[in-house]
Amino acid sequence: MKNDCAKWNDPLLEAALTGTVPLDLQQHLSACPSCTEEFSALRARRERLDSLLPLVAQSGEPSPEFHARVLAAAEAPGNARRTPPWLAWGLATVAALLVAALITSFALRSRTSPPVPQAELAAAQKLAEWRAPSDIFLQTPGSEMLRSTPKLGVSYLRLPAKTDKEKRP
């Protein structure tokens, strides 16, 4: 095909596909051997394409037992009347929403519960500060000393100093 024939590329393709050759293309073909050759090649290719295309889908066939297998699967107990997925998901969503609503209502209720009476608060405070009488037995003389850290050079034993009168016999 010559360079000046490039404008006929698309009309040639269309003509090969549809089988209809417009008048202007017919005139060009009668005067252009290279385009005539190209047109013949395109038509041959189109015929080959038409014969190959059905094979893309139809070169396989279902197996002879396909029909029986489908019917058996359809009649199987697990297949008929199965809960549709949208219904299962819907039920799951409703359940989740109910749980969330319950949790929220409990949280709100605890937040807005009525105030505790002062008398009850005072009693609770008293109870918290109460110490059993036996606590006194757990204390030792050194407990006070053990609470404070001894420092170097400082005596933490405060023994009363004897006066001169006491020293004399």
Contact 12, 42 (CB under 8 A): yes
Report if residue 79 touches another protein, rule: CB under 8 A: yes
Report if residue 58 touches another protein, rule: CB under 8 A: yes
Q: Which residues contact 79 (CB under 8 A, 6 or more apart)?
A: 73
Q: Indicate which single residue of 30, 34, 73, 104 sits in contact with another protein (rule: CB under 8 A).
A: 73
Q: Indicate which single residue of 69, 89, 95, 156 sits in contact with another protein (rule: CB under 8 A).
A: 69
Please tell me the distance from the alpha carbon of residue 52 to that of residue 57, in angstroms, as a whole number.
10
Pick between residue 57 and residue 154 the one whose CB is nearest to another protein.
57
Please tell me the distance from the alpha carbon of residue 5 to that of residue 22, in angstroms, as a whole number.
16
Q: Indicate which single residue of 1, 11, 14, 36 sits in contact with another protein (rule: CB under 8 A).
A: 14
Please tell me the distance from the alpha carbon of residue 140 to that of residue 138, in angstroms, as a whole number.
7
How many residues touch another protein under the rule CB under 8 A: the total is: 34
Contact 26, 55 (CB under 8 A): no
Q: Which residues contact 35 (CB under 8 A, 6 or more apart)?
A: 1, 5, 8, 12, 28, 29
Report if residue 21 touches another protein, rule: CB under 8 A: no
Q: Indicate which single residue of 31, 57, 119, 161 sits in contact with another protein (rule: CB under 8 A).
A: 57
Least distance between another protein and beta carbon 71 (Å): 6
Pick between residue 36 and residue 43 the one whose CB is nearest to another protein.
43
113-132 binders of another protein (CB under 8 A)? none
Report if residue 71 touches another protein, rule: CB under 8 A: yes
Least distance between another protein and beta carbon 89 (Å): 16
Please tell me the distance from the alpha carbon of residue 32 to that of residue 8, in angstroms, as a whole number.
11
